[in-house]
Amino acid sequence: MARRAPEGPPPPPVVQRVRLRYAKRGRLRFTSHRDFARAFERALRRAAVPMGYSAGFTPHPKISYVGAAPTGVASEAEYLEIGLAERVDVDELRAAIDAALPDGLDIVEAVESAGGSLAERMQATAWRIELDDVDADLVARAVDSFLAETEIGVERLTKDGRKIVDARGPVLAVEVSNTGDPRRRAIMTLVVRLETPAVRPDDVLAALRTVAGLARDAPRWGYNAVRLAQGPLDGSGAIGDPLAADRVTRGATS
């Protein structure tokens, strides 16, 4: 039997695509990607955003998420793209959606898409990791041992079971500094090439503990991680702005 077609007219076409950068801050860093998606769709409805929708029996708003940070990790550089059925002012759109989201989930920037794949621009990510109750010199020695290796496998629990991930290969640079805090808090910044599966801050810390000989004898390091940036990678190893091309095109045509 042929499947019955959905009743009613098809949804209106997408006439504008807007790319958003958003941040997860404070307690809202514990928001999972699914939680954020639900909160974001509620915010779109509250802000009366003229969303484009997919066709079919269960239409979905045209939202494309790019490389969401792990649950429990803060971020200043999360990205998504939405398709709109009516043209809007992107600055007013940013303000309206931001006002409809809870504090800590913040829309930082909105830019009209110039086309192309946003996901393909995401080649690397930068992390800032604060380590509690550990001496910066100890971390620096662990980093030296880490960088001397070409591959370090760490175990990760996934929905398909436990698997081994190379935590060394994608790491392009690591720096360690001391905050001067009497509680011995060290800061580590690293640049990681985005591959599949993506190497996360806890993978790098697990690898550091392994090469430093601390895996069995020391308690886990407490830490707070923040994604500082993600985007294209240039020849010097610096991470560029993934919205730069959209911003230039918009400025040239407005």
User: Whose CA is closest to 191, among 121, 120, 127, 119?
Assistant: 127
Instruction: Please state the pTM of the whole predicted model.
Output: 0.88
Please give the pLDDT value at position 215: 47
**pLDDT tens digits, 235-251:** 888 999 999 999 876 54
**pLDDT tens digits, 188-242:** 999 999 998 889 998 999 898 888 765 434 445 678 899 999 999 988 889 999 9
Annotate the chain with DSSP letters as a single string. Answer: -PPPPPSSPPPPPP-EEEEEEEEE-GGGGG--HHHHHHHHHHHHHHTT--B-B--SSS--B-EEEE-PPPTT-EEEEEEEEEEESS---HHHHHHHHHHHSPTTEEEEEEEE--SS-SGGG--EEEEEEEESS--HHHHHHHHHHHHH-S--EEEEEETTEEEEEESSTTEEEEEEEE---TTT-EEEEEEEE--SSPP-HHHHHHHHHHHTT-TTTSPPPPEEEEEEEEE-B-TTS-B--TTHHHHHHHHHH-
CB 106 within 8 A of CB 22: yes
Domains of the chain, CATH where assigned = 16-120 (3.30.70.580), 124-231 (3.30.2350.10)
